[in-house]
Amino acid sequence: MPKLKFFLLFLTLATLANAQDSLPKKLSLTEIVVKGKKPPVSFKIDRQVFRAAEYANAANGNAIDLIKNLPAVTVNGQGEINVRGSASFQVLLNGRPTQGDPAFVLAQIPASSIENIEMISSPGAAFDADGKSGVINIITKTAPEKGLMVQSNIMLGAPPFNDFDNQRYTSPQRYAADVSLGYQKGKLELSSGFNYLRNDIAGYREGNVNTTIGNIYTSFPSNGERSFKRYNFGGRLSAGLQLDSRNRLEAALYSGKKYQTRVADLLYNNSRKNMLTGAQSSFDYFNKNTAEKQGRFTLASLGSSHQLSKATQLSFSLQYEGADLESLTTNQNLSYPGLKTMIQETINPSKNPLHAYRLKADLTDKKGSRVWQTGYQFRYDEQLGDFLYRYKNLGMQEFAKDPFFSSQVAVRNNIHAGYLQYSNAKGRLSYQAGLRAEQMLRNLSFSDNVPGNRLPLLNLFPSYLFRYTLAENVVIKQSFTRRIKRTNNFELNPFPEREHSETLEQGDPALLPELTGIWELGVEHKLSKGSFSLSLYHQRTKNPIQRVNKVFNDTILGRIFTNAGLARQTGAEANFTYRVSKAWQMMVGGNVYKYDVRGSLFNGSLPFSNNSWVYSINATQSLALKANWQLQFNVNYLSLRATAQGEDGAFLTPNFSVKKTSKDNRWSFQAQWLFMDMGLGISNIQRITTRGSNFYTTTNYIYEPDQVQLSVGFNLIKKNRKISLPQSEMAEKEF
């Protein structure tokens, strides 16, 4: 009954909005707005540009919900974002680089505030070399020229259809609100916004693990709740001031917080067997585990540009990025049945703040189509991890510190970079070539008199790009770029970190950064009613960083970060958009590649090789009906993917939305059906498996399907025009 009332209220609001549209209107003087339908995908010399407004199913989410619809992007069941199969990519906010975890940064940006997403798969020398899969640039909305923009949305999620009969998180909460404002007048531009998103999800986990140590075979399957309570909020403010025709100042501030609590209440059924004697024993216990993570993100920048002459421009920028990351893992092992005796209790608080500073100067000289660019950048960043592990065993009155799992880790990077880039166009040919040089010094230090190390590296990052127009609407392109994936202190920390009952994580202070060369050959075809693009690419990665498992003891596996020889990846990425009719538009993108990784693990003691074909499909179908109704269906699918020691299973998420927009385009009402499943048991589920000579582990993660969300949006755009004419029905509709 509550769900029925929920839908009736939504339909009533939409009907009232439609009735309001049908009321007679008085004639008045208003501005003329000429508005055309922008293509969903457009092409520039070095990037593809995707319009965020085309993805209605992401309207109430954040930037992650938007980018997962791009052809080369996937988001798996654990929320990990991959671009062309790699989690290493760089995020820009309106052209400003960020340095933290991409998922953490993207979660702070509401989807409704985003105008475009730019995908740059072969960045030139003017870009940072970070991110072996390229760059994603998020462009937020701004006010129209000499005008005002006000936009707001609220969302409320329906109660869950399936909470898996969980005991702790019985009623996931989902609601959101955001507002964006923009204003331009004279030489001043202002933009601001605020957003809040609560997006809990119920879940369940089934796992099976076994180890063999000598003659002892141990099995410890488990099952139980795995749910998330999560929210994030943030604010943003930017300003631009055109001092005169030659000088401009800009400033921007982003600040936000992300919070997540993960519950894993699992029943373990342990059994042990001596393979020689046949003797067996068993032991059951209940593991109550809570992992709480939160972080505050801040990005502040100041910039200026100076037109030295008609052809030459000099720009400066200073940027600070901070991420105050904290976590607390609480682990309780209780007797079963009864849950009355505390066998062991542990708490694992940690702090892992990131502080990064960036100073940059760029000089651009442009004459006609010929452009020279050169610049220098200094970067300093530090990540100071403090990891504490305290335990209380049966019979102990107070918690004690375990030095084996407690540590302090400090990573400091100093990077000096300079680049030179040249681009030109002659006839049908456009080209760009550049070279970036980086001198990096990584200083690593630990607590408890553990020796640290220094890693000085000098790397060159060449790049080139050729584009040739075969016909009026057909372009072929060929490019090469060299990229780097740097290490963080989780990957470098040699002290084990106890995640939960069956898992430890441990890094390697000798890890080297990954270096990747990317070759790409592509074609772009603008159609009369859409576009088509195809890119063939090959990546060769030196020192690939792998997270692999090994046995720590009979009931605990260790996850170890290590370099693993050489990885190759060859694939094809395609995107097709087409307006089938006036009402029906389709967008289909996908990526298919063969991944081959081989080498040796654990200082050469364990040779390995693994390879597989992987593919993903992101497809969206939109149907525009009469009276400003819109239907949209989209599906994201990721196939089974090989890892260094096993495979990650396939992952499917279909979504459907219905949207009603008022005649003046100011009000919108939307209903979303996310993770459609209808009892089939195929959506929002992923199995992850690893195996070795003396262990096997497989875990099936099952997350809440069939989520329903209702939202209301308001949009106001005012533009100043010199001519005002009587209002017409068509002009009002197009406004």
pLDDT tens by residue, 687-733 = 999 988 899 999 999 999 999 999 999 988 765 433 322 332 322 22
Closest by CA to 377, choosing from 130, 560, 655, 192, is 130
| Tens-digit pLDDT profile for residues 212-260 | 999 999 999 999 999 999 999 999 999 999 999 999 999 999 999 999 9
**Neighbour tally for 219: CB within 10 Å:** 16
> Taking 90 as the threshold, does the pLDDT of residue 286 lie above it?
yes
322 secondary structure, DSSP code:
E
d(CA 505, CA 350): 14
Contacts of 415 (CB under 8 A, 6+ apart): 377, 378, 379, 380, 438, 439, 440, 441
**Neighbour tally for 35: CB within 10 Å:** 10
Q: Give the pairing of strands 41-44 and 47-51.
A: antiparallel
Closest by CA to 123, choosing from 104, 141, 97, is 97
> Taking 80 as the threshold, does the pLDDT of residue 415 lie above it?
yes
Q: Give the pairing of strands 474-485 and 497-500.
A: unpaired
| Tens-digit pLDDT profile for residues 258-274 | 999 999 999 999 999 99
> Taking 90 as the threshold, does the pLDDT of residue 424 lie above it?
yes
Whether 501 and 268 have beta carbons less than 8 Å apart is answered as yes
Q: Give the pairing of strands 135-140 and 90-93.
A: parallel
d(CA 713, CA 110): 13
- Using DSSP's 3-state secondary structure scheme, residue 16 falls into helix
| Tens-digit pLDDT profile for residues 428-450 | 999 999 999 999 999 999 887 77
Please report which helix (H) or strand (E) contains residue 600, including its range.
Answer: strand 584-601
Q: Using 50, 70 and 90 to split pLDDT, how confident is the model at 657?
A: very high
The pLDDT value given to residue 495: 82
Closest by CA to 618, choosing from 126, 117, 163, is 117
The rounded mean pLDDT for the chain is 87
> Taking 90 as the threshold, does the pLDDT of residue 322 lie above it?
yes
Whether 670 and 711 have beta carbons less than 8 Å apart is answered as yes
3-state secondary structure 427-481: CCEEEEEEEEEEEEEEEEEECCCCCCEEEEEEEEEEEEEEEEEEECCEEEEEEEE
> Taking 60 as the threshold, does the pLDDT of residue 8 lie above it?
no
Q: What domains are there in the chain, each with its CATH number? A: 2-734 (2.40.170.20)
> Taking 80 as the threshold, does the pLDDT of residue 632 lie above it?
yes
d(CA 449, CA 157): 52
| Tens-digit pLDDT profile for residues 476-495 | 999 999 999 998 878 888 88
What would the mean pLDDT of 499-514 be, rounded to a whole number? 84
Q: Using 50, 70 and 90 to split pLDDT, how confident is the model at 156?
A: very high
| Tens-digit pLDDT profile for residues 335-361 | 999 888 899 899 999 999 999 999 999
Whether 124 and 77 have beta carbons less than 8 Å apart is answered as no
The pLDDT value given to residue 256: 92
Query: Which residue's entry shows tokens 């005649």?
Result: 663
Q: Using 50, 70 and 90 to split pLDDT, how confident is the model at 604?
A: low
**Neighbour tally for 708: CB within 10 Å:** 19
Percentage with pLDDT > 90 across the chain: 61
**Between the CA atoms of 544, 545, 549 and 550, what dihedral angle is there, to the nearest 10 degrees?**
90
Lowest mean pLDDT among 2-6, 39-43, 392-396, 580-584: 2-6
Query: Which residue's entry shows tokens 């080498």?
Result: 599
Q: Using 50, 70 and 90 to split pLDDT, how confident is the model at 36?
A: low
Question: Which phi and psi angles does 26 have, rounded to 5°?
Answer: -75, 145
d(CA 513, CA 409): 18
> Taking 60 as the threshold, does the pLDDT of residue 30 lie above it?
no
Q: CA 89, 517, 636, 137 torsion: positive or negative?
A: positive
> Taking 70 as the threshold, does the pLDDT of residue 13 lie above it?
no
Alpha helices by DSSP H, listed for 459-551, are 489-492
Closest by CA to 617, choosing from 40, 52, 73, is 73
